[in-house]
Amino acid sequence: MKNTVKLFTTLSLLLMAIWSSAQSRMPEVEMADALRENGKIYVVVIVLCIVFAGIIGYLVIIDRKLSKLEKQRKK
């Protein structure tokens, strides 16, 4: 199990190195075009949106609890 993980990481790191070296040979300024072309950048955007929505949801809950306390105090 451990060896497979090791092998996998080594292979993927190697692949990444080859990929990046292949990229740096291109004369144009590199941008993450490929990421957007095959649409995977959207995954990151969705993840970020969910994380942000979660944080905001938490803030809303805290805000509501505070409002409740403030109302109780007024009575």
Partner 1 sequence: MIKHWWKALGVVLVLYTIIFGFLGEVPRQPILNETIRNTYFHVTMWFGMIILMVASLVYSIKYLRTEESRSDLKAKELAISGFFLASLGLVTGSIWARFTWGAFWVNDAKLNGTAVTILIYLAYFVLRGSVDDPQKKARIAAVYNIFAFVMMFVFIGILPRMTDSLHPGNGGNPAFGAYDMDNKMRMVFYPAVVGWTLIAVWITDIKIRFHRLQKNNNEKYS
Q: Which residues bind partner 1 (CB under 8 A)?
A: 28-32, 36, 41-42, 44-45, 48-49, 52-53, 56, 59, 62-63, 66, 69-70, 73
Between 11 and 16, name the residue whose CB sits nearer to partner 1: 16
Question: CB 65 → partner 1: shortest distance, Å?
Answer: 10
Q: What is the dihedral of CA 4, 5, 9, 15, to 10 degrees?
A: 40
Cα–Cα dist 50/30, whole Å:
29
Cα–Cα dist 44/50, whole Å:
10
Question: CB 22 → partner 1: shortest distance, Å?
Answer: 16
Between 11 and 44, name the residue whose CB sits nearer to partner 1: 44
Question: CB 6 → partner 1: shortest distance, Å?
Answer: 27
